[in-house]
Chains A and B, each alone.
Chain A
Amino acid sequence: MSGILNSSIGRKFAMALSALFLMVFLLQHFAINILSVFSPDTFNEVSHFMGTFWVIQYVLQPVLIFGVVFHFVMGFVLEYKNWNARQVGYAKTSRSANSTWMSRNMLLTGAVVLAFMILHFIDFWIPEINTKYIVGDTSGLIDPANTESGFRYYEELVHKFHHPLRVGAYVLSFVLLSLHLLHGFNSAFQSVGANNKYTKGLKGFSKVYAIGVPLGFVVIALFHHFTH
């Protein structure tokens, strides 16, 4: 057991576990965000619950941050080691003959998603943390002094999708995320040792997830951009 993270398989296993965790997180994030299209009130209620329930704030949120940081740091570590394993390259390669573009460019697509996450943190997470834990306002209200003012979450969401440049960056990032997931979803299962009679079905599901979830986020962004 000792030193498992020092082995190639151990590192891939850890990478896959963090990926699986992040994919579950992405799905629940999408499930909440899509509520904003159908019912602003329900979206506000659920957002307030997620933002104030201690298990989510003090247990799951730190695990999520660790998972995100671990995933991209380990991604760069693995990529560096892989570059180092071939110090003289080929004069001619035909990589598209034997592998997909997505599988060969996980670092590129991952880096774009990382850049998006930095924007996303600046847009939503840092102001949220500031409001709740620096200012000390955990009411979730537009005006903390006025209980009739209503929750602020839906208003903030709509406001963020006002500027077309931000919406464009958002759409581009989710296209890259989709490409990342088109390889990453199945790759994670392979890395944890799951390649069996269910793999074929899993590959079909992975396409639904990898295209459907990012597309859903894009639809949400465009919906709020064009309806407000």
Chain B
Amino acid sequence: MMNLTLKIWRQKDANDKGQIVDYPVSDISPDMSFLEMLDVLNQELIEKGESPVAFDHDCREGICGTCSLYINGRAHGPSTKITACQLHMRSFNDGDTIYIEPWRAKAFPVVKDLIVDRSSFDRIQQAGGFISVNTSGNTQDANAIPIEKHNADMAFDAATCIGCGACVASCKNSSAMLFVSAKVSQFALLPQGQVEATDRVLNMVKQMDDEGFGNCTNTGACEVECPKGISLENIARMNREYLAASFKG
């Protein structure tokens, strides 16, 4: 069992200035997940009549992209290729002090405590992250179109992006390019997506810029911290797609 000191960002609402508040927690099992540890803390806070710590979570099995904690200076905590809900307390030691903060980016404003508004990602998706197909019942079987295996694999890899925002949180520039490039790539690599490729990349990048995300300086932090291991190759592909689309007009 572990005794820990949690330093958690508390912020009543979007207009509140917010601050780090210390919470000691005791008898934490190393087999607990990080979110279960926060559940224990919240139970104690509720029993004491205090406001529980607000944090995002949903599936708790690493596929929904909802949990979004910046733990001890890293998105989703000290391990790689996992989300915060997949992080276990055995990654920490008895007596540790753990900083827990929300994603920080102008385009991800804090709603409350550790919850940020990631609707900017939704708006980028809506700007072009789709293909226009007739879904009236006559949809062609996707397997009827031959696709090179290598491209199919890369498209699938890109499509594993869960849109959690760890890339933005980790980037010193708050750049969203890994996310946007994954969404651009998953379509650009497939014949169904190539029909609208020009408008897609131009519109999604414009929306990304309008939302106030920073510029990529190729530090590679996003790739390291991405729970799905989305590759920087996708950003290079998006750059190519964007430049070709810009010259094409």
Contacts and interface: CB of A to CB of B under 8 A. Distances in A.
B191 interface: no
Contacts of B78: 97
Nearest to A6: B209
Given A4-B246, A95-B172, A82 B217 contact: yes
Contacts of A190: 218, 232, 235-236, 239
A91 to B, nearest CB: 5
Interface stretch (A98-106, A146-154, A165-173): A98-106
A81 B239 contact: no
A193 interface: yes
A185 B187 CA distance: 29
Interface in B150-191: 170, 172-175, 177
Given A99-B221, A190-B232, A191-B239, A90 B73 contact: yes
Contact of B174 (A85, A94, A187, A193): A85
A186 to B, nearest CB: 7
Contacts of B101: 90-92
Given A1-B247, A9-B205, A85 B212 contact: yes
B73 A92 contact: yes
B34 interface: no
Given A12-B215, A94-B74, A85 B246 contact: no
Nearest to B73: A94
B94 interface: no
Contact of A82 (B170, B174, B237, B243): B174
Contacts of B177: 8
B240 interface: yes
A84 interface: yes
A192 B249 CA distance: 18
Contacts, number: 141
Given A99-B224, A193-B237, A7 B219 contact: no
Interface residues of A, number: 42
A51 interface: no
A57 B92 CA distance: 63
Contacts of A87: 106
Given A9-B205, A85-B175, A190-B236, A106 B217 contact: yes
Given A91-B7, A94-B73, A86 B217 contact: no
B239 A192 contact: yes
Contacts of A161: none
Contacts of A89: 104
A187 B217 contact: yes
Looking at A4, A11, A91, the one whose CB has the most chain B CB atoms below 10 A away is A91
A190 to B, nearest CB: 5
Looking at B20, B214, B235, B238, the one whose CB has the most chain A CB atoms below 10 A away is B214
Given A92-B72, A94-B72, 14 more contacts: A13-B243, A85-B212, A86-B106, A88-B104, A91-B9, A92-B73, A93-B73, A98-B219, A106-B217, A193-B236, A193-B237, A193-B240, A195-B233, A195-B237
